[in-house]
Every structure is written in structure tokens, then in C-alpha cells.
Amino acid sequence: MAGKNKFGAFAGVFTPSILTILGVIMYMRLGWVVGNAGLIGAIGIILIAHVIAVTTGLSVSSVATDKKIGAGGIYYVLSRSMGVPIGGSIGIALYVGTAFSIALYLIGFAESFNGYFGFGMSVNDFRITGSIALISLTALALISTSVAMKAQFFILAAIIISLISIFLGTTDFAPETVALFTTKGSVSLEVVFAIFFPAVTGFTAGIAMSGDLEDPKKSIPSGTLTAIGVGLVVYLGLAIFMAYNINSELLKTDTNILMKMALFAPAVVAGIWGATLSSALGGILGGPRILQAMSIDKVTPKIFGKGKGHNNEPVNALFLVFIIAEAGILIGELDVIARVVSMFYLTAYGFINISYFLESWANPDFQPTFKIKRWIGLLGFVACFGVMFKLDMIAMFGALALVGGLYFWLQRKEVNLQTNDVWRSVWENVVNKGLKRIDDETDENSNWNPNIILFSGESKHQSYLLELGKTVSGRTGIVTNFKLILDKNNNEPPLRKTEQIVRNSNFKEIGIFARQLKVDNIYTGITNIASTFGFSGVEPNTVMMGWPKGLESSVEYAKMTETLLYLDYNLLYLDFDRTAKFGNYETVDLWWRETDSKNAEMMLNIARFIIASQKWNHTSIRVLFVNNNNINAELIRSKIAKLVEDLRVIVEIKIINNAVEQKPFYDIIKEESKSTNLTLLGIPNYKIEKQTEFILKTNHLFEAIGSTLLVKAANNFNVLDLNFTENKTI
């Protein structure tokens, strides 16, 4: 049975994790860290590094107890919570970081091995020794994962014996005074931290084995956190011990000092070799499983998803790990490799933490059995990127650019899994909280933010009404287009909720929501939608449709209009010139009259939105006012200029003196706006029984001018003072 080859918390998580934590950095660089940073500085570096390790360990443990964890470790956790693009981009970064960390451990092994036997200590010598070790460990992993896992227990015993030998060692190197802080000639703390940080990344070695665990939900939290805790105690204890027992200058220069001071040097040698080789082995076992899981999900080439044997060992993925690790070994310098590995892991850990934070904040279905405070994930995220910024700002932006590039590449690949995506929950939560705030702070006198119900009908010119609807709504306005399907006899059942949603690429490109409904009467359908559509915080405030030619005598249309006015909607009617269309999008006329006080302000708001759109951004706007009462023209102009200035719209103001000729208003519009691309005209207040007369007169006007938008403002618009009669001159 498959379960016979599965591992528990100790063998599958704690042991590979602690062996990687107590690895090359502890033996070969911890003394160097204490020597350069001083005791207080070293403790600070250890604690800051462990803040990141602890928060990340807690975050990933919590997420691991919420969902079923499969093979792929951290990649699997992220892809099932934040979606494949994020999970895959971080998974690839973590995979490369894991592969490079193998090189880190093996170059550390080579330093110790060559130094102990008196072999060459040049970079090329380290490359040769490291490459031989890599080939040997890869062969062991190919032979049997089980054998490799069992070998870890002997290595763990060797590390424990080596630590005992160190703590019982000689004090011949003790300093006269303990260096608490960095001294002259020391390496900067940023560089010291970057080289030390890979020491605390070892806990991912256990998580990477998630597919080989009997019970990942129990094993990952207990094994991971125990390994991190034991590692913290050992590092703090060893740092304090070295500061009090070894001279700081010696710590800076001799990376093999622990071997020289130990009670039994061969025990330390065994510990160093065991730790470095086991850490490398952990990467060789864990890295391919990350790549295999990504390949199964079609994130990476499927050839790496193929496995062999009873436990589906990721042989193909193992060979790629070998190639990347060998490339790292060819770098040959432990400190350089350590800094590269740090950036990869810090990036991955940052996104692991924010993944947990977003899951716990936004996802109502997030119910882990291992519960922690939400702010822990946010703290880990801030700590990761704060440290990255301090270490190497250019490298941080490079890492973010790499992950961002991978993210957008995976988005374009459109890899989909049948899993929840936390981003949907995030947006739903943001929208929910935003709606509550908007609903609590509704202000009757606030600026108009259009929320338009659009009835565009179906014709070859529909796109122009949709285009103008979106233009008039501005950058933040909402437009919902309704298609009404007429079923006079009510023979068919209503459309299901899922059928009412229209997902059309044309609407999506413009940025318009679309719905369709069955109705037994078009006018009552419009009235019902206007009466019920919307919800708290984002209630529709405007109805827009085509101008009703041929409906001048319709009682149903008159009743609909009366209802819309009663509901206090802004009304927009477009008479579209099918020949001229919107011309070259260069001229807009706003016609004002003394009775248009609210319509005038709405027209100015519409004008602001129009000129902000891409097609109309070179438009010339005119405000035209018909002076029927022989008022001083300059007085009218200055007053209109003040109103226009308050609303931040640059316009040309034209006063048309009509006191003598007393031409009909529409005749003046025909003369002035016959070649205008879009004319805005207010709908005056009139009794509903006068509708036929108004529509017929307006139809005659439309025959003489281009596309026209009729405007009827609701009560939420301010009354602009356009009554100039009190200033009349005699």
C-alpha cells in the first residue's frame, strides 16, 4: 500500500528541516557573522531572520490545515489559495531558489572537505569537489527516496554530537572583552544578514515533502514550527558561546575555527559534512517535487510532471534541479550564492505571508484548524520586503520584476484549476466594505457620480449609444445595459439568474455591464427595472435611452416617463444622426435658458466627462444662452463664466440677443448648431398632456441638426442662478 512509504512529522518534516537549518551557515559562517556584527548585532540578525521564518512558518502551517495539501509543498498551498498565476510565479522562484541552495550547501561542504584533507582551496577546487558531491547525492536520490530519508537520522545524530563537542571545547581563543557591536573594518550588517539568512530557510525542506507525508495537516505545523524553534535556540546559544569564547578577529578570518576549538574535531567534521550534504539532499528531494507539481498543473512543461516507480518519483524534474545546482556550483563562491538564495527566498516568503493574510481577511471559507492572528501574515510580508529593500533595493525590484513577469505570463496562459481563488474573495470583501462606507456617507450635495441604466436596443448603431453612455459616465461611473426580450403572452418562463448576465466581449471592451430580461411590455419593463435595480451605496441615478420617435402619442410611454420623473432619475435621451454620427468628435454645444437651472449643472458635469474621454479630448465646448429680455450681455457672460469656472470646465460662452427678433428657441438652435458634432439640450418642465406637442417639435429640430443628447436633471443637482431679469436695464 502507498501508505507504507509515507512519513510522519518527525521523519518527513522536522528532520529534513532541522538538518537544513543547522547546516552550512551555522558551521561555516555563524562565527563570521558574530565577528563582523558583534554579539548584539548577531543576536539582532538572528532574531530578525527568525521573525521572517516564524511568521512564514505560522502562515504556511495555518493555510496547510485549511485545504487538502498535495504534492508540491508551498507551491501547492499558494496555487490553491491565491490562484495559479501567483502560486506558479512564486513556485518557480522557490524552485530556482531551492536548486541554488543545493549549490550553497555543497560549496560549503567543499570548503570544509578540502581544508580538512589539505586539498586545493581555490574556487576551481571547490567546483570540482562540489560537483562530485552533487553527482553522488543525485545518484542516492535516484536509488531511493526512502534510503535518503533514513540516512538523515544518522546525520542528525552526527550534528548533535558535533554541537556537544563544540560546547565542551577549549577556551584558548577567548577574547579579553566581548565585542558587543560591529568593529572597525567589519563587513556591513546588510551583507552579513544576506549571507546569514539562508540559515533560516531550511523549514521549507520539510514542507516540500508534503506529497510524501501521511497527514500533512498535522505534520507540517508541528514539524515546521518545532524545527524553527530548535534552530533559533541553537543559533542564539552558539552565537553567545562563540562571542564569549573566541576572539572576534579570529571569527572574521577563520571559517574552520569551530573544528579547532572542539573537544573532538572529527565529530565537528562529521557534523559539517553531514549537515551540508543532508541540506543539499533535502533540496534534491524537495525541489523536483515542486517542479513536478507545477508540471501536473500545466504551469511548467508536462515532461517534468512524469514520475517513475511506485511513489511516482520525479526523475525528470530531478535532472533539471541537477543542472541548476551545477550552475550554482560553478559560481564557486559561497557568499555570492548565499546572497542570491536570500533574495529568492525572501520574495517567496513575502508572498506566502500575504497569501495567508488575504485568505484569513477575505475568504469566508477559510477555516484552518491551526489558527493564528491575521496580523502575523501582514507582519511577515512587511518584514520580508523591508529587509529586501534594506539589503539590495535593485535586487528587490529585480526579484519583483521577475515574479511579476512570471505572473503575467501565467495569466496569459490561462491555466485554470478547480480551486478557490483568494482574489475573488478579496474583491468581494473590498466591495462589501466600500458599499457600507458609501451607504453610511451618502451626501445629497456630493458631486454627481453617474450610475446609468442604459436601454440601447438592438441596431447597427447600438455601439454609438453604448459608447456615449460610457463616455457620459466618466472614469468611475457605472453603466448597466439592459436588453429587454419581449414576450407579450408570457408563455416562456423567466430567465434564470445566470442567463440574465450577458458576457459579451463588446460590452467588456467598453466597460459596460450587461443584463437581459424577459418582459411582457417594454414600458412597464423599463419602469420595473428603474424601480428595483440596484442596492445600497450604488443605486442607479440616471436612465439613458434613444429618443422616442414615433411614440409621441403613446400613453404607455407617457406613463413611463411620468414614473421615471417621479422616481427622480436623471433622464438622458440620444437622438443619433445616423449619417453624421458624432462627426469628428470636435464640437459640443450646451444650450441654456433661464428655466434650465438644474439641467445646466448636469450639462457641465457631462461636458467634464466628455472631454476627459480619449475620443473627445480635443473638443471645443460652447455654452449658448438666448437673451430674450435685453439683459446686458457682458453681465450674463460674467455670471455664466463664474458658474462654469466653479465646475472647472473650459468653454466658449456665446450670448445670443433675441429681445428684438424674438425667434423661437429651436430656430436659433438650428442656425447655431447645424454642424455641431454633439448638442446638449435641456428638457423643460411640461405637463404630461403636452408630451405629444413637445416630441413633435423636438423631432423637427433633430431633422436640422446633428446628434443631440436631451438632458433632464433630477433634484440632486444644484439650481444654477440663470434668472437675469432682476438685472434688466431700461
Residue 653 has pLDDT above 80, yes or no: yes
By percentage, how much of the chain surpasses pLDDT 70? 88
- Which of 173-182, 257-266, 519-528, 614-623 comes out lowest in average pLDDT? 173-182
CA-based nearest residue to 144, from 14, 275, 284, 321: 284
pTM metric for this prediction: 0.68
Domain boundaries, the chain: 2-423, 451-727
Q: Are 58 and 376 in contact (CB under 8 A)?
A: yes
pLDDT band, residue 359 (cuts 50/70/90)? confident
What stretch of H or E contains 244? helix 216-245
Q: What is the pLDDT of residue 678?
A: 94
Domain 451-727 classified CATH 3.40.50.620? yes
By DSSP bridging, strand 708-712 and strand 620-627 are unpaired
pLDDT band, residue 93 (cuts 50/70/90)? confident
Of these ranges, 490-504, 515-529, 533-547, the one predicted with the greatest mean pLDDT is 515-529
Q: What is the pLDDT of residue 679?
A: 94
Q: What CATH number matches the domain at 2-423, 1.20.1740.10, 1.10.645.10, 2.60.40.10, 1.10.286.10?
A: 1.20.1740.10
Number of alpha carbons in the 13 Å side-chain half-sphere of residue 273:
18
**How do residues 234-265 score in pLDDT, each as one tens digit?**
999 999 999 998 888 888 888 778 888 888 88
**How do residues 321-352 score in pLDDT, each as one tens digit?**
999 999 989 887 877 777 777 888 888 888 88
**How do residues 526-569 score in pLDDT, each as one tens digit?**
999 888 887 766 788 899 998 877 776 778 888 888 888 889 89
Cell of 102: 543545493
Pairwise CA distance, residues 282 & 276, whole Å: 10
Pairwise CA distance, residues 679 & 687, whole Å: 24
- List, as one string, the DSSP characters of 74-127: HHHHHHHHT-HHHHHHHHHHHHHHHHHHHHHHHHHHHHHHHHHHT---SHHHHH
Residues in the chain: 730
Q: What is the pLDDT of residue 688?
A: 72
Residue 641 has pLDDT above 80, yes or no: yes
Cell of 387: 529587509
Residue 41 has pLDDT above 90, yes or no: yes
Side-by-side strand order, sheet with 542-546: 513-519, 478-486, 451-455, 542-546, 570-575, 708-712, 678-682, 587-592, 620-627, 652-657
